[in-house]
A = this chain, B = another copy of it.
């Protein structure tokens, strides 16, 4: 694997920080965990997707454990979110935007690292999506929500678009910070527009025979 250029490394750190803030704010909102719980959920959200990616591409120990800037930024994001949560009027909006930022950056970086590790086109795109949605999926599972990636199609789809564009740029040899930012922007836009206009992908048809089945899952 070639050494990561600085601008892309900075981009990766930005995603880590965004997910650290996001996970911590989710903890505050969803279950009002204490300081440690908030920071722990922030760190898991920030580092989880990269852990899964690095395990699957056999790049262990994960980069995020070897370089102190990753786990420190994840922890700082969590602490900051805890401190700010009092003053944050629109905590819901902040959670959503930070999640979209992390999603977009991690889709690009994840696909990039997977392709660099020697995987083919399709698995690299798949791993971009896994990196993007992995941390948030662990986050949601730990606070007992159905993961966003399952609930709404316009979460995996923008990640897929960002990861696919990244692989395209890499194959066309035009990848670099501008291309990465472009791919991330496409992902971000699809995600945010989807939320804004409540776009959705098709849902399974309701059939009368199943209508009375217990839908629910939770206590």
Instruction: Indicate whether A3 reaches chain B with its CB closer than 8 angstroms.
Output: no
Asked whether, in the complex, the Cβ of A86 is within 8 Å of the Cβ of B209, the reply is: no
Residues of B within 8 A of A60 (CB): 55-58
Residues of B within 8 A of A33 (CB): 150-151, 203-204
Q: Would you call A31 and B215 a contact (CB within 8 A)?
A: yes
Of A10-18, A62-70, A100-108, A162-170, the segment with at least 4 beta carbons within 8 Å of chain B is A62-70
User: CA A72 – CA B144 in complex, angstroms?
Assistant: 30
| Least Cβ–Cβ distance between A196 and chain B, in angstroms | 17
- Chain B CB within 10 A, most for which of A40, A85, A126, A213: A40
Q: Which residues of B contact A122 (CB under 8 A)?
A: 68, 71-72
Bound complex: CA A154 to CA B56 (Å): 31
B interface footprint on A136-156 (CB within 8 Å = 1, 0 otherwise):
010001111111011111111
Kindly identify which residue among B56, B85, B91 contacts A51, using a CB–CB cutoff of 8 Å.
Answer: B56
Question: In the assembled complex, how far is the CB of residue A13 from the closest CB belonging to chain B, in whole angstroms?
Answer: 16
Instruction: Report yes or no: A143 in contact with B34, Cβ–Cβ below 8 A.
Output: no
A29 and B210 contacting across the interface, CB-CB below 8 Å: yes
Instruction: Provide the residues of chain B in CB contact with A56, threshold 8 Å.
Output: 51, 60-62, 65
User: A: which residues have CB within 8 A of B?
Assistant: 27-38, 40-41, 51, 55-58, 60-62, 65-66, 68, 71-72, 82, 85-86, 89, 91, 117, 119-120, 122-123, 126-127, 137, 141-147, 149-157, 200-207, 209-210, 213-219
22 A–B contacts from the bound complex (CB under 8 Å): A27-B150, A30-B216, A31-B218, A32-B203, A34-B200, A34-B204, A37-B150, A41-B150, A56-B65, A57-B60, A61-B119, A66-B120, A66-B123, A71-B126, A82-B204, A85-B205, A141-B142, A144-B216, A145-B217, A145-B218, A146-B218, A218-B219
